[in-house]
Amino acid sequence: MGTRYYSFILVTLALVFAFIEAIQAQNPGKGNSSKKAPFDAASTHYEVLPSKDGRESVNCLNRGRCQYKQLTCPAECPERKPKKNKKVKGCFVDCSKCEATCKWRKARCDGYGSLCYDPRFVGGDGVMFYFHGAKEGNFAIVSDDNLQINAHFIGTRPQGRTRDYTWVQALAVMFDSHTLVLAAKRVSHWDDSFDALTVRWDGKEIEIPTDGEAEWRITTDKREVVVERTDDTNSVEVRVAGLVQLNIKVRAIGKEENRVHNYQLPDDDAFAHLETQFKFINISDEIEGVLGKTYRPNYVSPVKRGVPMPMMGGEDKYQTPSLFSPLCNVCRFKGQAAFASSI
């Protein structure tokens, strides 16, 4: 009887602990964070603590081996959001890896997942290629079950050329039932002190603060979305929890660049455009898109190596009816994005 009694007690305790763990799994971080969300974004789920000797510290709140571990920024980059972003690296805290490291908080045009210039990509496989598309065209850069990113191209065709020079003027990030649009304003002459970046959430323009945390954030039913300034003007980092991170900078074509490449741009348009670097999270093996497909397992790039401008074709596969449409010949997106009417 005694053995059975103790066995009963042990089984009962095991069931109680299992029930408690299930409740905690459904409410990660409850009671420990002022930001209660229906997800557990491991890398950025933390609370900021008072600085130590000028170095920022955080307390990790994500589940797993790093939970409640305190991380302090290195002396080389003591702040998560340094004011002099162009010249100083920021502290990147990753609570999924229990580490705080120094990184540039801007797009790296030679890095994996980058989209810059006219336009030049570096794929998930590390291979560089060009994709010209067409001016005023819209193309699926990424198309997966839960994420679609389209790009709107602007461009010009100088006399004697058979193809357009093109640049990416806007990106539409579609997921769940939402659309986040980032676009460069048209400017006649470039002035870096003027903020030429516009951001729209489900069709409504939003303002990104320039002081304090310098960020705009919203929590939907499924995830948190953050748009944070990484410089006073024309530079932001976008984080869509569980899907994608983008580092974006607006730049324009300068006079010398116009002369060297013989773009023959008009005097009233500096062709402001986006330079972007993507980091994807939880993508499928069947991901599509001009950039997306380069992240497939065992993907082999068809572009010709060793030439000055290796070209990636497929305009017919990736062209979409509009910036806000998830439809193309190979698109996979299954969400119901809220389409905006203008950029």
Whole-model pTM above 0.95? no
Asked if pLDDT for residue 181 goes beyond 80, the answer is: yes
The model's pLDDT over 38-53, given as tens digits with 9 standing for 90+, comes to 445 556 678 889 887 8
pLDDT tens, position by position, 129-145: 999 889 999 999 999 99
- For residue 124, give Cα distances in angstroms to 96, 117, 127, 308, 327: 22, 18, 8, 20, 23
Burial of 28 (0-12, 13-18, 19+ CB in 10 A): buried
296 membership: H or E segment, kind and range: none
Q: Does position 320 have pLDDT exceeding 80, yes or no?
A: yes
CB 321 within 8 A of CB 161: no
The amino acid that residue 76 corresponds to is: E
Q: What is the pLDDT of residue 89?
A: 83
Tens of pLDDT, residues 269-319: 999 999 999 999 989 999 999 999 999 999 999 988 878 889 998 899 999
What share of the chain has pLDDT > 70, as a percent? Answer: 83
Q: Is the pLDDT of residue 105 over 80?
A: no
pLDDT at 251: 95
Q: Residue ranges of the domains in the chain? A: 46-103, 114-317
Q: Can you tell me which residue has the tokens 């045009």?
A: 109
Would you state the pLDDT for residue 42? 57
Average per-residue pLDDT for the chain: 85
For residue 76, which of 59, 91, 95 has the smallest C-alpha distance? 91
Lowest mean pLDDT among 75-79, 104-108, 311-315: 104-108
Cα atoms in the Cβ-side hemisphere of radius 13 Å centred on 249 = 20
- Mean pLDDT over 66-82 rounds to 89
Distance CA 175, CA 196 (A): 25
Task: Please say whether the beta carbons of 331 and 288 come within 8 A.
Answer: yes
Residue 292: DSSP 8-state? G
Average pLDDT of the segment spanning 232-256 = 94
Confidence of residue 18 (pLDDT cuts 50, 70, 90): very low
